[in-house]
């Protein structure tokens, strides 16, 4: 990883950690640092120290005290070789230090199929998990099923279509036809099971999401975990009674007020189950870190749960990411999504219409805290207009070139005779990459783009801004297309150049495919 190497050089020279940025304009070099300003050191002194580093082609001061660094061509080519050697392992990081991390996402109530709104966390959480894995964490993905409480009763009534019915929709009719039971609670429990297995799992499966664990709230109750957790809190003096209810002292952990965990009628609240869930996550499953991805409508519950985790001795290990709401746009008009009013679009329908790749892309591209306007008309007509095809096209184009290169002999660089793209991916160690032929600005900027990939992984594993991935893949595809336009890859009269450019194309294929794989989006060989 280039950035890491540059950081080390700077630290050895100055004795301080330096922040590195990619300047917006290429003329300012590959990295810039404001360390001279921050540490009040004369920038010229630092430049003097760095001048002879082989890593840099150019080191200069600029503006109000920046130091601009340009990576040498040799260092770029070394990095390129590394990509081809490491293949899909390029960009792997160890910052996770093998820590156990769980990402819990979607966790929509089992009272209906997934809508476009509550499925937003699907692609996001799934990809965040993938990034953690590549960054060196041991990752599990989980869905928490709230199959307890009065919503299940309400679901039962809905299926029975009696006066207390709350939910409506096609799925209710389907369930009504299949469930013979008459007791509302039992009907609700059976219906919830069917909704999870028949609807929700089907949709997450279509989206390519694989959960490691489905945790059922009802199991937490049956196994006594909820009672045990409450008892623990009680023994530690964190529970008191008022007006017949039991309250958890969340205020003393920073919540704006205390919260009820056992109602005056003896029923436990959602929070009681959720605190027990986190005792299970941290104590039983031994996660070092847990990230919960929630809808923004639950932000009022964040403080309560954080307090619960802290009370159990897991302070700082739980993070909650709130995804802002999805608003539907149809024919230019905004529609408020409401399950109860029957105004919603099912995720399943969307995936059927635009495909999993486009659906995932669409959700991933937006940052979590942005209110997502989902344009139904645009989604419907998304075909070649969708940016995801632009990226996939770049990949298919590379594959096409590599296929064609099957007739090109790569020697003198290759001891290996490459007959197909398959050979190239199978064994690239057979030829030495001496890419002295890569001089064209389009070639060099493409290599520069490739070297940013490991930074994307580490940065995203640190700040969860998953939209970096689609952004990056777009930029990389674009840089490749420019290279392709300017530099003919296969040239029978110049085998050296051909070998160099094929290697570069191969590296782009590797990184592009890695990025797409992280996003859970296909990397087609042909389109």
| Closer by beta carbon to RNA, 138 or else 400 | 400
| Closer by beta carbon to RNA, 32 or else 203 | 32
Q: Specify the stretch interacting with RNA by CB under 7 A; choose among 45-53, 119-127, 297-305, 313-321.
A: 297-305
For position 526 contacting RNA by CB under 7 A, the verdict is yes
For position 252 contacting RNA by CB under 7 A, the verdict is no
By CB under 7 A, name the one of 190, 311, 401, 438 that touches RNA: 401
Closest approach of RNA to the CB of residue 393, in Å: 3
For position 299 contacting RNA by CB under 7 A, the verdict is yes
Q: How many residues bind RNA (CB under 7 A)?
A: 87
List the one residue out of 131, 152, 252, 137 whose CA is nearest residue 194: 152
| Closer by beta carbon to RNA, 314 or else 339 | 339
List the one residue out of 144, 147, 103 whose CA is nearest residue 277: 144
| Helix, strand, or coil (residue 11) | helix
List the one residue out of 228, 250, 227, 254 whose CA is nearest residue 239: 250
Interaction residues for RNA, span 16-75 (CB under 7 A) = 21, 23-25, 27-28, 32, 34, 37-38, 62-66, 68
Please give the radius of gyration of the chain, using alpha carbons only, rounded to the nearest integer.
Answer: 27
For position 214 contacting RNA by CB under 7 A, the verdict is no
For 70, the token pair is 């340009």
| Closer by beta carbon to RNA, 252 or else 373 | 373
Taking CA 387 as the corner, what is the angle to CA 505 and CA 328, rounded to the nearest 5 degrees? 160
| Closer by beta carbon to RNA, 168 or else 324 | 324
**Using H for helix, E for strand and C for coil, what is the string for 412-471?**
CCECCCCCCHHHHHHCCCCECCCCCCCCCHHHHHHHHHHHCHHHHHHHHHHHCCCCHHHH
Helix-helix angle 495-519:387-404, to 10 degrees: 140
Closest approach of RNA to the CB of residue 173, in Å: 23
Closest approach of RNA to the CB of residue 467, in Å: 5
By CB under 7 A, name the one of 9, 116, 474, 511 that touches RNA: 474
By CB under 7 A, name the one of 11, 16, 51, 488 that touches RNA: 488
Q: Report the distance separating Cα 514 and Cα 524, nearest Å.
A: 13
DSSP structural state of residue 488: -
Residue with tokens 């360390």: 35
For position 78 contacting RNA by CB under 7 A, the verdict is no
* Pairing, β 239-242 against β 245-248: antiparallel
Interaction residues for RNA, span 344-383 (CB under 7 A) = 365-367, 369-373, 375, 383
For position 297 contacting RNA by CB under 7 A, the verdict is yes
What string marks each residue from 86 to 125 as x (binds RNA by CB under 7 A) or -? -----------------------x----------------
Helix-helix angle 387-404:468-486, to 10 degrees: 40
| Closer by beta carbon to RNA, 59 or else 82 | 59
For the sheet containing 56-62, what is the strand order?
A: 31-33, 66-71, 56-62
Closest approach of RNA to the CB of residue 59, in Å: 12
By CB under 7 A, name the one of 149, 156, 308, 520 that touches RNA: 149
What string marks each residue from 152 to 191 as x (binds RNA by CB under 7 A) or -? ----------------------------------------
For position 316 contacting RNA by CB under 7 A, the verdict is no
10 Å Cβ neighbour count for 152? Answer: 25
CB 354 within 8 A of CB 382: yes
Closest approach of RNA to the CB of residue 454, in Å: 18
| Closer by beta carbon to RNA, 63 or else 412 | 63
Q: Report the distance separating Cα 139 and Cα 341, nearest Å.
A: 38
CB 484 within 8 A of CB 501: no
Interaction residues for RNA, span 255-294 (CB under 7 A) = 260, 263-265, 267, 269-271
| Closer by beta carbon to RNA, 411 or else 465 | 465
Closest approach of RNA to the CB of residue 286, in Å: 26
Burial class (CB in 10 A: 0-12, 13-18, 19+), 291: buried
């Amino acid at each position: 990883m280039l950035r890491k190497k540059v950081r080390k050089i700077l630290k050895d020279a100055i004795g301080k950690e330096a922040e590195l940025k990619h300047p917006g304009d290429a003329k300012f070099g590959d990295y810039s640092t404001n360390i001279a300003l921050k540490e009040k050191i004369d920038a010229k002194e630092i430049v003097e120290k760095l001048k002879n580093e082989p890593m840099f082609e150019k080191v200069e001061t600029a503006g109000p005290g920046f130091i601009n660094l340009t990576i040498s061509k040799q260092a770029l080519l070394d990095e390129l070789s590394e990509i081809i050697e490491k293949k899909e392992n390029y960009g792997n990081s160890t910052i996770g230090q093998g820590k156990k991390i769980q990402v819990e996402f979607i966790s929509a109530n089992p009272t209906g199929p997934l809508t476009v709104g509550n499925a937003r966390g699907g692609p996001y959480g799934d990809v965040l998990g993938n990034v953690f894995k590549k960054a060196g964490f041991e990752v599990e993905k989980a869905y928490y099923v709230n199959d307890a409480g009065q919503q299940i009763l309400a679901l039962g009534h809905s299926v029975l279509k009696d006066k207390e019915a709350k939910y409506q929709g096609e799925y209710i009719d389907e369930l009504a036809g299949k469930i013979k039971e008459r007791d509302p609670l039992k009907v609700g429990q059976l219906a919830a099971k069917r909704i999870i297995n028949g609807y929700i799992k089907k949709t997450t499966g279509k989206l390519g999401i694989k959960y490691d664990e489905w945790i059922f709230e009802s199991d937490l109750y049956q196994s006594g975990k909820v009672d045990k957790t409450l008892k623990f809190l009680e023994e530690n003096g964190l529970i008191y009674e008022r007006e017949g209810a039991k309250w958890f002292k969340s205020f003393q952990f920073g919540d704006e007020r205390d919260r009820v965990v056992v109602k005056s009628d003896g029923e436990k609240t959602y929070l009681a189950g959720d605190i027990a869930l986190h005792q299970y996550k941290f104590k039983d499953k031994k996660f070092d870190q847990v990230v919960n991805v929630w809808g923004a409508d639950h932000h009022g519950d964040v403080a309560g749960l954080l307090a619960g985790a802290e009370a159990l001795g897991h302070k700082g290990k739980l993070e909650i990411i709130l995804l802002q709401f999805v608003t539907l746009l149809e024919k230019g008009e905004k529609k408020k999504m409401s399950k109860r009013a029957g105004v919603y679009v099912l995720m399943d329908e969307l995936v059927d219409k635009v495909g999993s790749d486009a659906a995932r892309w669409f959700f991933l591209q937006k940052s979590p805290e942005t209110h997502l306007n989902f344009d139904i008309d645009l989604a419907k007509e998304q075909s070649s207009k969708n940016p995801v095809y632009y990226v996939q096209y770049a990949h298919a184009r590379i594959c096409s070139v590599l296929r064609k290169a099957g007739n090109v002999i790569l020697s003198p660089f290759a001891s290996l005779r490459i007959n197909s793209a398959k050979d190239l991916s199978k064994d690239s160690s057979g030829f030495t990459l001496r890419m002295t032929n890569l001089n064209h600005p389009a070639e060099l900027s493409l290599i520069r783009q490739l070297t940013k990939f490991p930074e994307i992984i580490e940065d995203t594993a640190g700040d969860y801004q998953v939209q970096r991935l689609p952004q990056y893949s777009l930029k990389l595809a674009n840089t490749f297309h420019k290279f392709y336009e300017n530099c003919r890859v296969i040239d029978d009269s110049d085998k050296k150049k051909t070998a160099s450019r094929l290697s570069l194309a191969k590296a782009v294929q590797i990184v592009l495919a890695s990025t797409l794989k992280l996003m859970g989006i296909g990397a087609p060989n042909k389109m």
